[in-house]
Chains A and B, each alone.
Chain A
Amino acid sequence: MKHLRLPVVLVAGTLVLSACAGVGNKSDSGGSDGQASADSTPSGTLKVMGLGGEDEVGLARMTAFKTAFPGVTVQNNKGDFDAQQFLTAVSSGNPPDAVYMGRNLIGTYAAKGAIQPLDDCIKNSGIDTTQYREAAMNEVKLKDKIYGIPEFYTVSTNLISETALKSAGVPVSDIQTTDWDKLEATAKQLYKAKNGRPARIGYDPKMPDFFPLWAMANGAEIIKPDGSPNLNDPKAVEALQFTIKLINAQGGWSNFKTFRDTFDLFGEKNQFTKDQLAAFPIENWYVNVLRDARANGLKLQSTPFTDRQGQPISTIGGSAWVIPKGAKNPNAACQWAKTLTAKETWLKAAEARMQTVAKDKSFFTGLFTGNKQADEEIKAKYLKPSGDAGFDAAIKNYYDVLDKAKSLNPSAAGAEIDAAWKSAVGKALAGSATPQAALDQAQSEAKTAFDKASQG
């Protein structure tokens, strides 16, 4: 044993040093060195992370990039964004070059220095940021710096089963979110129970995920423009109280969630065709999913989700391309983000989608790119009456709310704020705490995290 002591000490010491080196040897500048210059042509290997599914829209855009930049070898690590994978890659000094992540994450990652500001990339590559929707751009900014190039734009509207409404004698116009008392009465009218458990939900407010939307509908911003949390705003508390009341009128949270978990959301025999749900607000991608369910008797209707003054509103969702700190090929990453989100590329993607639509003998339900010019041209060129008035109304509602939709303000403590309100809403729904108490605690936790994050 004696003769092994020195090597063991050396190995252990090396490990400690290397472990410490591994966490501390990176530059803190977070600069944008090497981002595309005006006349540079990218080459080499481009490592992409977070781009999961490759449907015809994704493939067409990747092809557009490969055609434009044949000197770049794209290595796509297929799979959705994984925080652990990403952070360890950045921390170890071997990050990918372009990462596709939800825009709601950008504030946190930017504040921690995990991703680079893209102002030089935008300037040198001549990316016209005015082409992107303002709300999407707002989500990728922190302290006046731009950290992501946005793509896709999800908004919400009410989708309705006409069959359910007819069976309960409820007119489509009664599915509205302006008059909350009336909405509760309508939900009760549409709700069906069997053996004390829900058999059909009348109106699903999509809690807890849609809490920010309900708060917005009641006039509250749960994240203030400076990024600080505003979770216990009286209007947000009131919104949570109402949605809980709505759920309690339809079996109570435990039964409600249990029943909702049985929905085959993506199947042809989904909650509408099986008469398990009358109406709910949902994002625009879902109308594309529902198209195939028409063969099983789906009769779709739609109304806009409005605030309490009757104005259509929506929160937005979507992703963005970011360049991590220490990316080896930021020049190619910048061109990648530019190319994949450019109007011309989206038009090619729409063309690919139309080929799929023609092959499937279905119809086009819209493409919501986050690029305003692309959206308008695609809509003008490809969106035609489908022959199904309900689907047409739903698609129209989604397009109508695009310019009215608002983003949640980005925050340096975005992840903590997100976790805090989700936990609070979960507790309030489960009855473990009152909405006021749950959101008060969430506000306190989120504020602590925000103060700490703001101090750097």
Chain B
Amino acid sequence: MATTVERPAARGQVEPARRRPPKRSPLAKREDRAGWLFVSPWVLGFLIFTAGPMIASLVLSFTDYQMIQTPRVVGLDNYRELFDDPRVLKSLSNTFVYAAMFVPLGTIFALALAMMLQRVGKAGGFFRTAFYLPEMTPAVAAAAMFLLLLNGQQGLVNKVLGWFGINGPNWTADPNWLKPSLAAVSLWTVGGTVIIYLAALNGVPKQLYEAAELDGAGPVTRFFRITVPMISGALFFTVITHTIASMQMFDQAYTMFYGPQQKATASDESLVYMVYLFQNAFQFFKMGFASAMAWLLFVIIMAITFLQVRIGNRYVYYHGER
């Protein structure tokens, strides 16, 4: 264990303690080695498949790289072009709008499902599986299925709305409804979030509810004064991960509007950032520009996450901190 040798200081003098590196036992060293051995697959995977490409893409973002020829250094040209290309701004704003719809909607929807699951008793296992199963569906298959479900004329969604006298929109053709339809499709995959919320809800002490009930608190008060604060850690985590995932959304938008089956795009209203990045990289051979786009998105995501953390830290309650 660590030891510190201190000499008595002379009167009036404060001598800083001199520290010697702790002498580590052979067992501790063996444990260290074993630890590194265990995490080495992850570390190697990270270096090879994440850090390596990230560094490469940063380097490429300062080049004109068309994938076939040798990259040619162009300095900040790609970054300047980001601000000159109207479709970068358009795709970015589309992505923000989509994220602004999906993140709150997904959070509320998942929380509602989790609260329902908490109350179903013995059937909980079945419903947990049922809610999680869509998570296993490939995004492309889900998007193709939703193209049928969301058809304005014959889709099931509008038929159901019709039972309530609601004349549903043309989800996949009306430019005003393209982003809401993408957000609706993304709700299909909130199963994982439901499970996280369910675990968090089960961790809320029952005594708090009993005490609140004795004090005359109604269900709404109990929800906002007990449930939400007590699961705020889980809510905070999922809001951040949903935001990051929303900013990187690709599969659904590509399959529904830009894939091989869609010979022409529906409208620029469905052009999300990652789709435009993909087009630049693999259709227009502008890998350097696409790399710059990726780094712009990285910076934006970092900024949003930083902001969320700063705000979240004021309100989030962690059990372990008490």
Kindly supply a per-residue 1/0 record for chain A positions 312-352, scoring 1 wherever the CB is within 8 Å of any chain B CB and 0 otherwise: 00000000000001000000000000000000000000000
Residues of A within 8 A of B65 (CB): 23
Instruction: Evaluate whether A415 and B152 lie within 8 angstroms (CB atoms) in the complex, with A91-B68, A112-B68, A257-B173 already known.
Output: no
Within A192-206, which residues are at the interface with B (CB < 8 Å)? 197-198
Judge whether B4 is part of the interface by a CB distance below 8 angstroms.
no
Q: How far is the CA of A255 from the CA of B154 in the complex (A)?
A: 12
Query: Shortest Cβ distance from B277 into chain A, in angstroms?
Result: 12
Judge whether B269 is part of the interface by a CB distance below 8 angstroms.
yes
Q: Which of A15, A20, A258, A426 contacts B268 (CB 8 A)?
A: A426
- Contact (Cβ within 8 A) B55 A254: no
Instruction: Evaluate whether A16 and B264 lie within 8 angstroms (CB atoms) in the complex, with A24-B71, A254-B170, A419-B284 already known.
Output: no
Judge whether A62 is part of the interface by a CB distance below 8 angstroms.
no
Query: Shortest Cβ distance from B134 into chain A, in angstroms?
Result: 23
Judge whether A11 is part of the interface by a CB distance below 8 angstroms.
yes
Which of B44, B68, B269 has the most C-beta atoms of chain A within 10 angstroms of its own C-beta? B68
Residues of A within 8 A of B172 (CB): 258, 261
Judge whether B279 is part of the interface by a CB distance below 8 angstroms.
yes
Query: Shortest Cβ distance from B101 into chain A, in angstroms?
Result: 19
Judge whether B232 is part of the interface by a CB distance below 8 angstroms.
no
Q: How far is the CA of A197 from the CA of B55 in the complex (A)?
A: 53
Q: Which of A11, A23, A261 contacts B173 (CB 8 A)?
A: A261
Kindly supply a per-residue 1/0 record for chain B positions 62-85, scoring 1 wherever the CB is within 8 Å of any chain A CB and 0 otherwise: 000111111100000000000000
- Contact (Cβ within 8 A) A419 B279: yes
Q: How far is the CA of A237 from the CA of B273 in the complex (A)?
A: 29
Q: How far is the CA of A425 from the CA of B152 in the complex (A)?
A: 21
- Nearest opposing residue in chain B for A90, CB measure: B68
Within A437-455, which residues are at the interface with B (CB < 8 Å)? 441, 445, 449
Judge whether A26 is part of the interface by a CB distance below 8 angstroms.
yes
Q: How far is the CA of A259 from the CA of B152 in the complex (A)?
A: 8
Given contacts A12-B51, A16-B55, list 6 more A-B pairs with CB under 8 A: A15-B55, A15-B56, A23-B67, A90-B68, A112-B285, A419-B283
Residues of A within 8 A of B205 (CB): none
Q: How far is the CA of A23 from the CA of B62 in the complex (A)?
A: 14
- Contact (Cβ within 8 A) B284 A422: no
- Contact (Cβ within 8 A) B47 A11: yes
Task: Classify chain A's interface size.
Answer: 35 or more
Judge whether B175 is part of the interface by a CB distance below 8 angstroms.
yes
Kindly supply a per-residue 1/0 record for chain B positions 165-195, scoring 1 wherever the CB is within 8 Å of any chain A CB and 0 otherwise: 0000010111100000000000000000000
Judge whether B266 is part of the interface by a CB distance below 8 angstroms.
yes
Q: Which of A84, A261, A426 contacts B282 (CB 8 A)?
A: A84
- Contact (Cβ within 8 A) A197 B67: no
- Nearest opposing residue in chain A for B51, CB measure: A12
Judge whether B48 is part of the interface by a CB distance below 8 angstroms.
yes
Q: Which of A19, A254, A325 contacts B68 (CB 8 A)?
A: A325
Q: How far is the CA of A257 from the CA of B150 in the complex (A)?
A: 13
- Nearest opposing residue in chain A for B66, CB measure: A112
Query: Shortest Cβ distance from B122 into chain A, in angstroms?
Result: 42
Q: Which of B52, B86, B152, B266 contacts A16 (CB 8 A)?
A: B52
Q: Which of A112, A258, A425 contacts B67 (CB 8 A)?
A: A112
- Nearest opposing residue in chain B for A23, CB measure: B71
Judge whether B313 is part of the interface by a CB distance below 8 angstroms.
no
Q: How far is the CA of A16 from the CA of B264 in the complex (A)?
A: 38
Judge whether A45 is part of the interface by a CB distance below 8 angstroms.
no
13 residue pairs of the A-B complex, CB under 8 angstroms, read A15-B52, A16-B59, A19-B53, A19-B59, A23-B70, A80-B260, A91-B67, A197-B152, A209-B264, A255-B152, A423-B268, A425-B264, A426-B267
Judge whether B119 is part of the interface by a CB distance below 8 angstroms.
no
Residues of A within 8 A of B68 (CB): 26, 28, 87, 90-91, 112-114, 325
Query: Shortest Cβ distance from A289 into chain B, in angstroms?
Result: 16
Going nearest first, the 9 A-B pairs with the smallest beta carbon separation are A19-B56, A15-B52, A258-B152, A208-B264, A257-B173, A24-B70, A422-B264, A254-B174, A258-B170
Residues of A within 8 A of B285 (CB): 87, 108, 112, 114, 415
Judge whether B318 is part of the interface by a CB distance below 8 angstroms.
no
Query: Shortest Cβ distance from B190 into chain A, in angstroms?
Result: 26
